């Protein structure tokens, strides 16, 4: 078990995968104006877009402020804070400097950085992601990006199947993965729990996988999102991709426990 707080130390495969979410906001409607009124309509549309963006920023700031008042407080100024969940899987806070990448490579033998943040998350904390990415490349490490909307149960549910499949693929390649969001308390541990529940034989219940992670790293990822994503995968057709969300209400304990056969079914559907 590793607990670290630190301020610090060939080409790589770098991929970004957009994960849609109902929480990400609705697209603006096209203008119905015709002729000379088009300019005014476009101006109004741009204004509304800016207003929606400002509202999104305000909501994010309020959510982060509220989150920082919980027991799982994020201390950005303290630097890296992470826990080794498995020999090849570490979950933690966002790396913000080239020195952070050096530390992960040299001290923890990390070969793959798995980022679940949106760009705006890093911008909010004034992280120079271009510099972090360059250092990942310089050190011969891989970068995987599967952005989730922060604090969104729907975004986590929708994105988990594809992201967990990618995390499983990295593990099967023999990578040592540093999995992170911003605080390492919601999105990234939620993804780690889904991976453990779906792909590891050690956990046949969601509660068991959840406890296995949170007993090492105190955090509170959205368990219901993982349970719902489990049901989505089980109900999906074998050739369905991406996995669609069920439109019915789930039963109380549905998806909370997996038989060996159900695990095999999930793995067949996700390992493409």
Q: Which residues are catalytic?
A: 181
Q: Report the alpha-carbon distance of residue 143 to residue 113 in Å, rounded.
A: 5
Total Cβ atoms within 10 A of residue 267: 14
Contact 159, 193 (CB under 8 A): no
- List CB contacts of 91: < 8 A, sequence separation 6 or more: 82, 83, 85, 179, 180, 184, 188, 189, 192, 213, 217
Q: Report the alpha-carbon distance of residue 158 to residue 146 in Å, rounded.
A: 11
Q: Report the alpha-carbon distance of residue 214 to residue 170 in Å, rounded.
A: 22
Report helix, strand or coil for 226. helix
Total Cβ atoms within 10 A of residue 201: 7
Q: Which residues pair with 113 in a beta bridge?
A: 143, 178
* Rg of the chain taking only CA atoms, in angstroms: 20
HEC-encoded secondary structure of 210-226: HHHHHCCCCCCCCHHHH
Residue in 117, 252, 127, 140 with CA at minimum distance from that of residue 187: 117
């Amino acid at each position: 078990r590793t607990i670290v707080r630190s301020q610090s130390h060939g080409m790589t495969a770098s991929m970004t995968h957009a994960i849609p979410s109902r929480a990400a906001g609705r697209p603006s409607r096209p203008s119905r104006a015709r002729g000379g009124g088009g300019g005014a309509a476009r101006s109004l549309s741009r204004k509304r877009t800016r207003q929606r963006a400002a509202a999104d920023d305000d909501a994010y700031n309020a959510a982060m402020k509220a989150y920082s008042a919980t027991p799982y407080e994020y201390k950005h100024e303290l630097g890296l804070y992470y826990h080794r969940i498995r020999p090849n899987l570490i979950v933690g806070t966002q790396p913000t400097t080239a020195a952070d990448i050096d530390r992960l490579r040299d001290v923890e033998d990390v070969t793959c950085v798995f980022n679940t943040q949106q760009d705006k998350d890093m911008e909010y904390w004034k992280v120079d992601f271009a510099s972090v990415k360059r250092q990942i490349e310089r050190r011969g490490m891989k970068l995987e990006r599967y952005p989730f909307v922060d604090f969104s149960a729907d975004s986590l549910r929708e994105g988990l199947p594809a992201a967990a499949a990618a995390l499983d693929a990295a593990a099967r390649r023999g990578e040592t993965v540093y999995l992170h969001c911003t605080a390492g308390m919601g999105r990234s541990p939620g993804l780690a729990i889904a991976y453990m529940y779906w792909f590891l034989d050690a956990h046949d219940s969601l509660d068991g996988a959840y406890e296995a992670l949170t007993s090492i790293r105190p955090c509170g990822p959205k368990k219901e999102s993982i349970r719902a994503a489990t049901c989505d995968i089980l109900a999906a057709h074998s050739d369905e991709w991406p996995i669609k969300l069920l439109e019915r209400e789930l039963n109380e304990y549905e998806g909370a426990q997996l038989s060996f056969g159900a695990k095999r079914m999930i793995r067949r559907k996700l390992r493409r």
